[in-house]
Amino acid sequence: MGVYSKCAVFLVSAAVSIAPTAARAQRRPQQQQRPPLSANEQQAAQRFDRGVQLAREGDWTSAVAEFEAAYALSGNVEILFNVAAAHENANHYVEAAEALAQYRARATAASVGRRATELDAAAARIESRIGRLIVALDAPGLEVAVDSRTFTADQARAGIRVSAGDRRVVLRAPRFVSREQRVTVAGGEARTISEPLTRTQSGIMVECNVRGARILVDGRELGRTPIESALVVDEGRHTVRVVSDGYTSYETVVEAVEGGATVRAQLSWLDEIPSAIAGRLLIRTNEPGGFATIARRRIPMDGSYALPPGTHRLRVELPGFVPTERDVTTVAGESLQVDVLLRPTAAYRLSYDQHARLLRSLWVGTGIPGFSLLATTGVAAIVLLVRNRTNDEEITRVGQQIDACGRTACSNSLELIAQRNRLVQQSSDEYTALWITGITGFIGLGLSIASISFFAVAPPLDRFTRAPNFRVGVGPGAVSTTLTF
């Protein structure tokens, strides 16, 4: 009750100075007639009386509100004495000290002198229950709220006067996560808050045309391309750099806030890749004539081209075949061999099979009659030649008999002449047959040659079903060195 009794003195002191005029006027109406109270003065008196009643009931917080309202309406400096007392009893020691300071500054010297002892005692008592709260944080735009009062960063760094007890402190700063904490401060003590605020997080999504490129954010490597999700960074401005050996580098500055930021990096091959970091790629295919590209750039298939080390998307194409893509990883200073199986498109395979079957049909269709005619006419020619020779010998023999008969005048000379004529006619017929056999033989020979040609150019039917034979295909800078029979 010591504090309360002291406050009661304040209340009485103020009450004497606020509205006794009307009371005295009611007791001595005959002696003096004072002007009536204004509306503000009447309301101030009511507020003051209500504050006194609340103070007697122990509701000091409500009493503070009423006294401050009465002071605002009346401007009576004496009420500040009551405001300070109510704040002290409500444990608002800083506010009580401020009210006393205002009273000392605004009251008359006579009033301050009359209450000097009380003021000094109250000030000492209140100051002993005030501590200091120092916020030693380096956060741009920092704002500190202690209970219901807000302070700037400079004020917080210099030290905030707070009432002793458990204080609610809220720290806020742009791009930092707000933090609320309870701090217990004793009278005359200085408490320091130095735990840094956590920055609000954002994200940076990086897209790059090169796989395995290093992503550096503010000089620190956070990942390699491609990334599936955004890189988590503190909200704010960041320098993003994307680098990969054998490529030009990419650098930009982004503002990562709320929804984050997106970086689209395009790296190009160096004009001259040092041999120490260059990788090489030897590409073999099961079909000749294909060509290879990486990053839309055609490259030789014989391993003569220097590539940046890392993972590349290789594409091998050949007209009539399905393009094949795969990831290949070249290593600095090493050569990598890749076997690529090219598969025909449905349309090309159908056309190929039809062409192959047609040539085989022509091969068989010309070969059977051609070789048959050639064989038959060959045998026939041999037989005719043998018979013709025999016939010639017989004609010679009969002619000799006719000559001998003519010398001796034999009786069968006519019969011999007739026999020779038959033999001559038979020989003539056989020569005609021999010519016909020769012409037929030439036709058979032509068909046989055509059959051999069709056989030579007819593609194999099992081209796409047999085990593939990989070889360096014909392409820019690459020549096939493998012969397949």
pLDDT tens by residue, the chain, 485 residues = 233 333 433 443 444 333 332 222 223 344 455 567 688 888 999 999 999 999 999 999 999 999 999 999 988 999 998 999 999 999 999 999 999 999 999 998 888 889 889 899 999 999 999 999 999 988 888 999 998 889 999 999 999 999 998 999 999 998 888 999 999 999 889 999 989 988 888 899 999 988 889 999 999 999 999 899 999 998 889 999 999 988 999 999 999 887 889 999 999 888 888 888 888 999 999 888 889 998 888 989 988 888 888 888 899 999 999 999 999 988 888 899 999 999 999 999 899 889 988 988 888 888 888 888 888 888 888 887 888 888 888 888 777 777 777 666 676 777 778 877 887 888 788 788 878 888 888 898 888 898 888 888 888 888 888 888 888 854 444 444 443 43
Report yes or no on 25 lying in a domain.
yes
Structure tokens belonging to residue 155 = 């004020």
Q: Does one domain contain both 181 and 235? A: no
- Domain total in the chain: 5
Q: Does one domain contain both 244 and 321? A: no
Q: Does one domain contain both 298 and 382? A: no
- Where a domain ends, among 127, 150, 167? 127
Q: What is the pLDDT of residue 416?
A: 76
- Where a domain ends, among 146, 164, 193? 193
Q: What is the pLDDT of residue 282?
A: 92
Which candidate, 252, 427, 454, 456, places its Cα nearest to that of 366? 454
Q: Which residues pair with 221 in a beta bridge?
A: 216
What is the DSSP-derived secondary structure letter of residue 145? E
Domain harbouring 108, CATH code: 1.25.40
Report yes or no on 474 lying in a domain.
no
Pairing of β 179-185 and β 165-172: antiparallel
Q: What is the pLDDT of residue 27?
A: 36
Report yes or no on 466 lying in a domain.
no
Report yes or no on 485 lying in a domain.
no
Q: Does one domain contain both 361 and 437? A: yes
- Where a domain ends, among 127, 147, 173? 127
Other C-beta atoms lying within 10 Å of the C-beta of residue 407: 7
Report yes or no on 483 lying in a domain.
no
Distance of alpha carbon 444 from alpha carbon 368, whole angstroms = 9
Looking up tokens 């290093």, which residue turns up? 214
What's the pTM value of the predicted model, to 2 decimals? 0.53
* Residue 474 near residue 292, CB atoms below 8 Å: no
Q: Does one domain contain both 235 and 320? A: no
Domain harbouring 329, CATH code: 2.60.40.1120
Report yes or no on 206 lying in a domain.
yes
Report yes or no on 464 lying in a domain.
no
Q: Does one domain contain both 69 and 160? A: no
Q: Does one domain contain both 28 and 88? A: yes
- Its domain, for residue 326, covers 280-344
Report yes or no on 394 lying in a domain.
yes
Q: Does one domain contain both 64 and 37? A: yes
Q: Does one domain contain both 146 and 240? A: no
Cα end-to-end span (Å), the chain: 118
Q: Does one domain contain both 316 and 219? A: no
Other C-beta atoms lying within 10 Å of the C-beta of residue 145: 16
Give the rounded distance of the alpha carbon of 464 from its chain centre: 39
Q: Does one domain contain both 330 and 250? A: no
Q: Does one domain contain both 56 and 113? A: yes
